[in-house]
Structure 1
Amino acid sequence: MSPERPRTYGEFWPLYLREHSRPATRALHVAGTLGGLGLLLLALYLKVGWLVPGALVFAYGLAWIGHFCIERNRPATFRHPLWSLRADFHMVALALFGRLEPELRRHLGADPGNPI
């Protein structure tokens, strides 16, 4: 995250979006979150406890690959774990309903297909 210190989720959200400026990073987040949720549901359905940590590793692993290899930044999870989790679900929901690009333009003032 940037050196700015958000005091509210409303202040954090635009910073979070800025840290996810590249489409490939956002795609990895969506895949990781949905895949992780799928594995978590499978673990609950099958009553297989070892899948729970696997779901977390899968979800965070894909997201962190995006940060370390594509964005070349540090995941917000390390500084703001709860806001980061909320923002991830927020971003994924917007992406699934086709509302992420307008949200990116509104907060970042840029074409979401072209990183800032």
Structure 2
Amino acid sequence: MNFQSYKEFWPFYLSQHSKPATRRWHFAGTSFVFVFFILSIVFLNFWFLLLAPVTAYSIAWISHFFIEGNKPATFGHPLWSLRADFRMYRLMLFGQLGKELNKQNALYEKGKENPHDTPAFRS
């Protein structure tokens, strides 16, 4: 799919993470990014930084293939996917993802902001 902006991509990204289990696995994977970053500083061993994306993407992609049943959005839109992953992580961390999913569902139901016929989201 072609997107003209990140704003247009965001609802699609959420739709590709419609199952709560997929989002939880992504949260775990993204948490490892921070763990490896801290470990690299504590041990002054920057090889840990190489483990961060390998671990995070492995966990996330496994969740797409075996839980969500789709192809990771990162394959077609790597930078926007990375940005969206950290946004989803932040929303989950602060308990705001449900509110965002409800907002996107409402927009979808109205037929606004969703030119790609993205399915509804589950909170």
Both structures adopt the same fold (TM-score exceeding 0.5): yes
Matched, 1:23 2:20: yes
Contact 2:14-2:121 at 8 Å conserved across structures: no
Structure 1: where are the runs of 5+ without partners?
none
Structure 2: where are the runs of 5+ without partners?
107-119
% identical aligned pairs: 49
What is the TM-score with the length of structure 1 in the denominator? 0.87
Show the counterpart of 1:83. Answer: 80
In structure 1, C-alpha distance between the alignment counterparts of 2:34 and 2:57, rounded to whole Å:
11
Q: Find 1:112's aligned residue among 107, 113, 122.
A: 122
Regions of 4+ moved over 2 Å: 108-113
Computed over aligned residues only, the root mean square deviation of the Cα atoms, in angstroms, reads 1.4
Contact 2:40-2:49 at 8 Å conserved across structures: yes
Write out aligned runs for 1:1-116 (5 A).
Answer: 3=1, 5-109=2-106, 110=120, 112-113=122-123
Higher-Rg member (1/2)? 2
What is the TM-score with the length of structure 2 in the denominator? 0.82
Displacement of 1:111 after TM fit?
6.4
Q: Count the aligned residue pairs.
A: 110
Cα deviation per residue 1:43-87 (whole Å; 9 max; x = unaligned)?
133121322221211111111111111111111111111100000
Cα deviation per residue 1:18-65 (whole Å; 9 max; x = unaligned)?
000000000001111012221122113312132222121111111111
